[in-house]
């Protein structure tokens, strides 16, 4: 899995690789518009609520200021700063009752 994360869009892979490894997450192929500017992932066996809590804690442990989450019944999203100065949008959504899928996308600041 480390190779798949490393080949994903670098800021997303750097920020999320430890989280995915610790939670038995897996990278997934993204739609064409996300292939170079982001990464997609799945967290089997994790509810949306649990994924939001654990991802929030991981982001803070990585030095990201406490994220503000926009929540709906089926998905949660946040935008966080990347070390490169860009912004990263992270969206996670329920994939059935016991799985969550997500995407991280780079918004360049240049």
Strands (E), 1-110: 26-28, 38-44, 70-71, 75-81, 87-94, 99-107
User: How far is 36 from 59, CA to CA, in rounded Å?
Assistant: 22
* pTM given for the model: 0.85
- pLDDT confidence bin for 8, thresholds 50/70/90: very low
Instruction: Sketch out the chain's domains with CATH numbers.
Output: 2-107 (3.30.160)
Among the residue ranges 18-22, 28-32, 39-43, the one predicted with the least confidence is 28-32
Q: Which of the two residues, 107 and 9, has the higher pLDDT score?
A: 107
pLDDT tens digits for range 75-97:
999 999 887 788 999 999 999 88
| Pairing relationship of beta strands 70-71 and 87-94 according to DSSP bridges | unpaired
Spatial neighbors of 24 by CB under 8 A, at least 6 apart, are 43, 44, 45
Residue 33's pLDDT band (cuts 50, 70, 90): low
């Amino acid at each position: 899995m480390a190779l798949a994360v490393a080949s994903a869009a670098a800021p997303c892979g750097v920020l999320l690789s430890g989280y995915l490894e610790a939670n038995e997450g897996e990278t997934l192929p993204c739609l064409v518009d996300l292939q170079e500017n982001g990464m997609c992932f799945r967290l089997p066996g994790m509810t949306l609520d649990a994924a939001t809590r654990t991802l929030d804690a991981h982001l803070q442990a990585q030095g990201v200021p406490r994220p503000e989450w926009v929540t709906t019944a089926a998905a949660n999203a946040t935008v966080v700063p990347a070390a490169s100065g860009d912004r990263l949008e992270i969206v996670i959504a329920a994939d059935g009752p016991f799985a969550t899928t997500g995407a991280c996308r780079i918004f360049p600041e240049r």
